[in-house]
Structure 1
Amino acid sequence: MELEKTVERIVPKNFKSREEYLLYLRHVFVYEVLESYINSTDKVLEIGFGEGYGTKMISRFADSVIGLDVNEEAVNYAGKRYGSDNCSFEHFDGDRVPFENEEFDAVVSYQVIEHIENDKQYLEEIARVLKKGGTLLLTTPNRRHRLEREQEPWNPFHIREYSASQLSSLLEEIFSKVEIQGVNAQEVVRKIEVDRVKRGITLKKLVPNFMQRYLYGDFMKKYDTSCFFLDENAPEGLDLFAVCTK
């Protein structure tokens, strides 16, 4: 059984273009960063795990992790592929998080909030299941380099996209401490992503798959997660990375 790639779900295999592979690396990078924020004794919840590879990464340095997703197919797939004694996957309705108050030391929510109609209610549910002093780690696309002022998201799956100041204001309504950084990249990698967004289409629509390696070499050997870094100048980030304390 293989989980189907979608516009909003990265499956870590058979990358067809530089853009697709670099987007995957950018996601892997922010999972690697988690090791600096999560302790080996922590019970962690991830909401909206996508394919499941990131949840499995968390299980390597946390005491335990549970991945939640509204897609039952993804839950079944991830459970079979990545499930273990300290890594499990559950389905939920997308509304109420199905756990008791103050049950988790950390909650991870990557590239999810932009899909949520009632973003404040979503964050309040996360705060409810976090222990006092617990941490929410969240990423979302940075609208600054994607949209013009007042422009609605061109991605049909995104209800809204946030600037650093908008995201900070929302999070500060619920959490006692909020720190926002940008997920940035080396200039050559950043330019590839900025150009992709400006076109509003992926390079593979312009260049056939079989031409990608001919034009760009073996891009899977050329790039890795060291191309990315956290930038204290959050507005310049490709994505926003928020660390919030309850």
Structure 2
Amino acid sequence: MGAAERIQGANQFEAGKLSPYWGEHVARYIFALQFVEGKDILDVACGTGYGLPFLRRKANKVVGVDVSLEALSEAKDRCDDKTNVLLADALRLPFRDEAFDVVTSFETIEHLHERQEFLREIKRVLKINGLLVLSTPNANYTKPVNGKPTNPFHVFEYTPEELKIELDAYFLVESFLGQKLSDKIKISPFYSDQIRLPKDPLTQTKLFLWRLMNKLPVIVRERISEILWSKPFYPSENDYKFDQSVIKDAPVLLAVCRRVR
């Protein structure tokens, strides 16, 4: 997210599993864990640092950078002897060449005018054979109008084909995936997903009941959800999948890229 968008949504993330955004965003950090064991990690545009504790579970060292002092003031509360945060511009990272084994950057590139410069800078701070794990909204899903994103905080949104071409100029793309809710979750918490649901009576009845529950006081809603389904009302990080087969129309694109030279 851009700085304004991150601050606007900070309270949503701080609500943890009580937020509809939590599971979708944390799922990307959980996905990245498979690449970080014993490694030095840079999280570009870390925001309030909600993802840092997940990365440090397995990493040797984690550094988060962001352009927002307000966001970093919250992120500092999540730091320990393995974690640090710095005020820094993603286009001018304050690190030597080949400083990190893995760079993560989730929902960042769509906020930038200088997207090629951003990728070059990430490549510079990555070690040879290091990995970039990057996500961004899928334009096939968000449907920009005349090339302009409907999200006012976004500068440009990529189709899968456009993102692949952009990344190929700097990295070897090893995995190119779509992020989507698991098929077992019938009602997404997001309106953009809900308006795409089938119009048959059964599905629309489920949606109607979901919306009724969503209006209940949080304590009541969560208690009912635990009784009925033994889980929080909103999808958790475990309810999202990353799969090449859904890349065409998934809400979010995720790429794992290697610096080879």
- Contact kept? 1:124, 1:174, Cα under 8 Å: yes
Which residue in the other structure is 2:249 paired with? 236
Q: 1:76 to 1:226 in 2, by over 3 A?
A: closer
CA gap of 1:169–1:245, structure 2 versus 1, over 3 A, is same
> Residues 10, 59 of structure 1: CA spacing in aligned structure 2 closer, same or farther, 3 A cutoff?
farther
Q: Is the 8 A contact 2:188 2:194 kept in 1?
A: no
1:117 matched to 2:128 = no
The one-letter code sitting in structure 1 at the alignment partner of 2:35 is: Y
- C-alpha change, 1:25 and 1:109, in structure 2 (3 Å) is same
Question: Which structure 2 residues correspond to residues 72-221 of structure 1 after superposition, within 5 A?
Answer: 72-79=69-76, 81-147=77-143, 150-187=146-183, 189=185, 192=188, 195-196=191-192, 210-211=215-216, 217-218=224-225, 221=232
Task: Give 5+ residue unaligned stretches, structure 1.
Answer: 200-205
Contact 1:184–1:190 (8 Å) recurs in 2: no
Structure 2 match to 1:203: none
Find the aligned partners of 1:145 and 1:10 in 2 and give their Cα distance.
26
Contact 1:183 1:231 in 2 (8 A): yes
Q: Give the match for residue 29 of structure 2.
A: 31
Are 1:60 and 2:78 matched, yes or no?
no
TM-score by length of 1: 0.83
- Partners of 1:143 and 1:87 lie apart in 2 by 34
In the alignment, the residues of structure 2 paired with residue 10 and residue 146 of structure 1 have an alpha-carbon distance, to the nearest angstrom, of 24
Amino acid across the alignment from 2:74:
Y
Give the Å deviation of 1:135.
0.2
Cα distance between partner residues in 2 of 1:77 and 1:134: 29
Cα deviation, residue 10, structure 1: 6.0
Counterpart CA distance in 2 for 1:239 and 1:212 is 30
Aligned residue-pair number: 234
Matched letter for residue 240 of structure 1: L
Q: What residue identity is the alignment partner of 1:12? A: F
Percentage of identical aligned residues:
26
Contact 2:42 2:62 in 1 (8 A): yes
Change (3 A) 1:12 1:88: same
2:238 and 2:214 map into 1 onto residues whose CA distance is 25
Residue equivalent to 2:205 = none
- Alignment deviations for residues 105-160 of structure 1 (CA, whole Å, 9 cap, x no partner): 00000010000111010000000000000000001111111115744211100001
User: Any conservation in 2 of the 1:10–1:24 contact (CA below 8 Å)?
Assistant: no
- Match of 1:99, SS state, is coil
User: What is the TM-score normalised by the length of structure 2?
Assistant: 0.78
Q: Which runs of 5+ in 2 are unaligned?
A: 196-210
